[in-house]
């Protein structure tokens, strides 16, 4: 989503973690199954995202990129602080009755939760594709991304389009956070790697198309895993390798691997 409007959102990770906490809260208070709480994460983060964009980020939408960086960086700090106040810095995890179960496929065993997460991720990509390519709102979002003035001249309300874009992005971040909480303990400051990853995935794949972003995501994941499993390299290097690849891609194909130059 960010890629389409060229919004660099440094608060992305905080939104992911907020979704994680919501799932954790619903599970620990009311025993809501984490997968059932995903739609709640989506709706809650959509509302928060819309309000943030409309109230805060829209004010600097025409400002240079640096301002977007500063503002969303500040927003990230505020969101993390709020999460710290609400949930303390303690690590939280969602451990369900099926958390330990695995799917046995011959010699490999994959945790059910990972399989379900993959299914949800595919579903999300499909939903996003449908929104962008089959709905009136999606057409408006893409039009704004392609030519802001022309979009206004067909009657698209820029502020609303930006807010919707941000809200949809936040909703997806929230769902991702809900998923993450099922296989990883979360703490308010745990979001930063996700911001970096989102940034990397968008850049790897290229701006503006879902298929490119999905490809970027797969590639980034693959590089990380290769980095982790290479003998002699600790998992600490995985991120470093992935970002080194990112820098190389940027140097040779600034539009991303599958991106088109505007």
Q: For binding to another protein (CB under 8 A), which residues are involved? A: 136, 139-140, 142-143, 146-147, 149-157, 208, 260
- Minimum gap (Å) between residue 158 Cβ and another protein: 8
Q: Is 86 exposed, middle or buried (0-12, 13-18, 19+ CB in 10 A)?
A: exposed
Residue 209 CB, shortest distance to another protein, in Å, is 8
Phi-psi region at 261: left, alpha or beta (left = phi > 0; alpha = psi -120 to 50): beta
- By beta-carbon proximity to another protein, the closer residue of 94 and 151 is 151
CB of 254 to another protein, least distance (A): 18
What dihedral do alpha carbons 22, 60, 203, 131 form, nearest 10°? 60
Task: Please say which residue, 130 or 146, places its beta carbon nearer to another protein.
Answer: 146
**Toward another protein, which CB reaches closer, 161 or 242?**
161
Question: Residue 112: which residues within 8 A CB-CB, separation 6 or more?
Answer: 98, 101, 102, 103
Residue 157 or 248 with smaller CB distance to another protein: 157
Do the Cβ atoms of 151 and 143 come closer than 8 Å? Answer: yes
CB of 139 to another protein, least distance (A): 6
């Amino acid at each position: 989503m960010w890629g389409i409007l060229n919004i660099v959102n440094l608060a992305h990770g905080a939104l992911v973690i907020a979704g994680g906490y919501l799932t954790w809260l619903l599970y620990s208070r009311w025993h809501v199954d984490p997968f059932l709480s995903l739609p709640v994460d989506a709706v809650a983060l959509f509302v928060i995202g819309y309000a943030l964009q409309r109230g805060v980020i829209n004010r600097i939408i025409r400002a240079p990129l640096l301002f977007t960086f500063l503002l969303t960086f500040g927003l990230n700090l505020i969101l993390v602080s709020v999460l710290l106040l609400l949930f303390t810095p303690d690590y939280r995890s969602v451990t369900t009755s099926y958390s330990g179960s695995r799917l046995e496929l011959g010699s490999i065993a994959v945790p059910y939760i990972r399989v379900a997460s993959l299914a949800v991720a595919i579903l999300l990509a499909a939903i996003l594709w449908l929104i962008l390519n089959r709905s009136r709102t999606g057409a408006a979002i893409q039009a704004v991304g392609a030519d802001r003035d022309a979009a206004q001249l067909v009657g698209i309300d820029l502020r609303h389009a930006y807010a919707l874009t941000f809200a949809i992005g936040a909703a997806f971040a929230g769902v991702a956070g809900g998923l993450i909480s099922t296989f990883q303990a979360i703490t308010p400051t745990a979001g930063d790697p996700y911001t970096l990853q989102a940034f990397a995935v968008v850049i790897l794949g290229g701006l503006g198309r879902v298929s490119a972003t999905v490809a970027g995501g797969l590639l980034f994941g693959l590089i990380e895993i290769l980095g982790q499993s290479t003998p002699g390299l600790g998992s600490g290097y995985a991120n470093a390798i992935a970002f080194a690849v990112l820098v190389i891609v940027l140097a040779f194909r600034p539009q991303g691997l599958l991106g088109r130059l505007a």
